Amino acid sequence: LGVVNAYVFVPDLQRHGEIVAYRGGGSAVNYEKLKKTGCTALSIKASNINSVENTLEAVASSVAAGANVIHLNVHRTRDDQLVVFHDWTLDCATNGSGPIHKTSFEQLKSIDAGYGYTFDDGATFPFRGKGFGISKLEAFYKRYPKHEFWLNLKDNDIRSFETLYEYLSGKKSSHIVITSSKGMEWFRNKDSSLRLASVGSVKSCGIDYLLVGWAGLVPDSCRNTILFIPPSMTKYFWGYPERL
């Protein structure tokens, strides 16, 4: 049954994978530890990486290493600016406090974005005082106009959807918006051609593809989106990697 989806019959679909700078780069995270701390800054692994996730410095290192897709976490500030930062609040990772959406960009400009990062439970803070800051999303687009962006919108309110949509409407760069189910519905109603993803869409696409992928079919749930597949699961997906 899987013959229809054999890559040997469609050599034109074969292509090399792309390198994604997840969180823009930065240190790898111990996800078991993250479940306990709830904060990436307290859950990083020791390494020779010398930059903080979601910063211009991290992306520069990732691009220099060959990344051609940039994944970033995005928030809307109190004054409707789009900034790049992981957490919903400043308390854990920085020397600031409070939710991002209640903070102005002017206030964020003085924040030390590397202040709270530690890989040894607080014995040392290797990125503290090293000049890492929180930047506007625009700064990344200006510096990397030819790269594809995967934007994980952390906010789940209509004003944030509107702000990001208005921003992307003027961009020629390729992009994917990763959002909530609520966000998926809002963005889809605005522009059905937008590439979107959410936890729900990944589950739906994955299950549907497992059911019909053997026939070379692309389920409707997989159109204009991306599918995240853990390495341990790739053997179950028809046509991986040449045709998926």
What's the CATH code of the domain at 126? 3.20.20.190
Could you tell me the residue range of the domain that residue 53 belongs to? 2-197
The answer to whether position 217 is within a domain reads: no
| Contacting residues for 207 by C-beta, under 8 A, at least 6 apart | none
pLDDT at position 16 is 60
Query: Using CA atoms, how far apart are residues 197 and 183, in angstroms rounded to an integer?
Result: 9
- Report mean pLDDT in 10-residue bins for the chain, 244 residues: 40 62 94 92 93 98 96 98 97 98 98 98 97 98 96 98 96 93 96 92 88 83 83 80 66
The answer to whether position 94 is within a domain reads: yes
The answer to whether position 49 is within a domain reads: yes
The answer to whether position 234 is within a domain reads: no
The answer to whether position 89 is within a domain reads: yes
Ramachandran angles phi, psi of 228, nearest 5°: -90, 120
Exposure string for 107-142, b = 16+ CB within 10 A, e = fewer: bbeebbbbbbbbbeeeeebbbeebebbbbbbeebbe
The answer to whether position 83 is within a domain reads: yes
Q: Check if the beta carbon of residue 163 is closer than 8 Å to that of residue 80.
A: yes
The answer to whether position 224 is within a domain reads: no
pLDDT at position 234 is 81
The answer to whether position 216 is within a domain reads: no
pLDDT at position 210 is 87
For residue 165 the two structure tokens come to: 């949509």
Query: Using CA atoms, how far apart are residues 29 and 31, in angstroms rounded to an integer?
Result: 6
pLDDT at position 216 is 78
Three-class SS of residue 57?
helix
DSSP string for residues in 178-210:
E--HHHHHHHHHH-TTS-EE-HHHHHHHHHHHH
pLDDT at position 116 is 98
Q: Domain count of the chain?
A: 1
Indicate the pTM of the whole model.
0.88
